Amino acid sequence: MVTKDEMMKIAILSKLFVAEEDMDKLTKDMSEIISFADTINNASDEGTDFDNINNLSNVLREDCVVPSLDREQILANAKDSDDGCFLVKNIMK
């Protein structure tokens, strides 16, 4: 069972606003999803440790210099930029 308070906390961690009028439905949906997820607790604990899908291991190669992306092009997708940088509001006074 997921509570409204927990939902508020999770929304903050997710950097999302949840409107007051949507809270009841969302809490109900999440409770249903979580109780569905709870079925895994019936499984025995002798689970095999899982590292990655194909048991991949690191492959090392020589580092080499290749052309990078163009700054102007990168900034073209930003809504606000200035002097070759992404622009955001002050985070410190």
Contacts with other proteins, residue ranges (CB under 8 A): 2, 6-7, 9-11, 13-18, 26, 29-30, 32-34, 36-41, 43, 45-50, 52-54, 56, 61, 69-70, 73-74, 76-80, 86, 88-89, 91
| Terminal-residue alpha carbon distance, the chain | 42
Nearer to other proteins by C-beta: 24 or 29?
Answer: 29
84: left (phi over 0), alpha (psi -120 to 50) or beta: left
Is-contact 11 27, C-beta < 8 A?
no
Q: State in angstroms the smallest separation of the CB of 14 from other proteins.
A: 4
